[in-house]
Amino acid sequence: MIRFAALAAAMLLALAPAAAQQAAPPRPGLARAAEKASEKPQDPLQLDARAIPLGGALRSPEAWLAYKARFVTEQGRVVDTANGMISHSEGQGYAMLIAVAANDRAGFEKIWGWTRANLMVRDDQLVAWRWEPNQRPAVADMNNASDGDLLIAWALAEAADYWGEQAYKIAGRRIAVEVGRKLILLKTKFGSLLLPGVSGFAGEDRKDGPVVNLSYWVFPALSRLPLVAPDVDWAGLTQSGLDLIKTARFGPSGLPTEWLSAAGGDIRPADGFAKTFGYNTIRIPLYLAWAGIGEREHYAAFANAWSARGISVIDSQTGRPTEAMSEGGYSALVALTLCVTSGRPFAADFRASRASENYYPATIHLLALIAAQMRYGSCFKS
């Protein structure tokens, strides 16, 4: 999958010296449709930002059973079918979360056990980001990915809360505190910033550092991690993410690029990365909606782009689609976003899984379904 090929390249670029020549920042702009919308004031979004427990929230257990059968091995390894059958901390974290939502404690324990044995191989409490089945060692890159760390810590916090297991709480706290200690930059010009990994993204590592990725702000996790780590300023991190979504708007589409430089006084696309809105950043409205937070301005560029031409990779400089995201699971993300912004009802097949889909769109679909069942019941047709 292009998404993880780009992430692997991002890790390599992040660890390499910064480009000697700074790229000229693209012209920032708002989506044309967003500008038109601003001429006609709309009612504020009516969202419910309560921190809702995840345990048992999935009311379509057959969806989890189908997902588990296709993507989770007997040992608990989550397989990325479009990316060389590798596994990664993100996928393990997502599956752990879905298992809690489906009230599948045995499945959760199996996935957590594999994660603990195979990815928690660093000399701290964070999680190695990638495991490759055809390589020895299977973990060749010891860097972490902060979104994977957050997802796993959140899943452990929810499991501890739902099943009353103290060991899960202790494990979740260890990861969450380490994220706060090593990956959150406090008191920057932009508020708290979340580094994508311990190595390669800070100002000491790159001339354009710190470099961040807005899809790593897992907003529903940030509202629930106080269960295990109340001493970390998750609320401050949430606010900085909301602020950055309003700031990181580039070109005619007004959408954020995947990798952003926070060096100096402005947010701009980071050096050495494709200046595109893509497979990572599509998760931004998913996380906003799942947490029940944000204003119209936070969702507008996503809703406008997707309602006009569907979901795709977009060149931030031209505003043009460069690659359609054609697998059906991505449409659930569009449906969720338009439910939030306009109250559009979900289609009759919103719950239906698709047997031919790869890991990532199938995961996006299942996460959007959980978010919808937790917070947006009004968009389900009676």
Please state whether 84 falls in left (phi above 0), alpha (psi between -120 and 50) or beta.
left
Nearest to 111 by CA among 135, 95, 89, 90: 95
How many angstroms separate the CA atoms of 225 and 155, rounded?
Answer: 9
The side-by-side arrangement of strands in the sheet containing 276-277 is 276-277, 312-315, 321-324
φ and ψ of 26, to 5 deg: -70, 160
Which residue out of 80, 90, 158, 161 is catalytically annotated?
90
How many angstroms separate the CA atoms of 206 and 216, rounded?
Answer: 19
To which H or E segment does residue 314 belong?
A: strand 312-315
| 240: three-class secondary structure by DSSP | helix
To which H or E segment does residue 244 belong?
A: helix 234-247
CA 324 to chain centre: 19
Nearest to 229 by CA among 221, 238, 220, 239: 221
Query: Structure tokens of 153?
Result: 């810590």
One-letter amino acid at 119 equals L
Please report, for residues 25, 34, 40, 126, the alpha-carbon distance to residue 249 in angstroms, rounded to integers and kept in the order given: 12, 11, 21, 31
φ and ψ of 360, to 5 deg: -70, -50
Is position 43 annotated as part of the catalytic site?
A: no
Is position 315 annotated as part of the catalytic site?
A: no
Which residue out of 147, 161, 315, 357 is catalytically annotated?
147
Give the end-to-end CA distance of the chain in Å, rounded to a whole number.
37
CA 357 to chain centre: 19
φ and ψ of 222, to 5 deg: -65, -25
Q: Are strands 276-277 and 130-131 parallel, antiparallel or unpaired?
A: unpaired
> Which sequence positions are flagged as catalytic?
90, 147
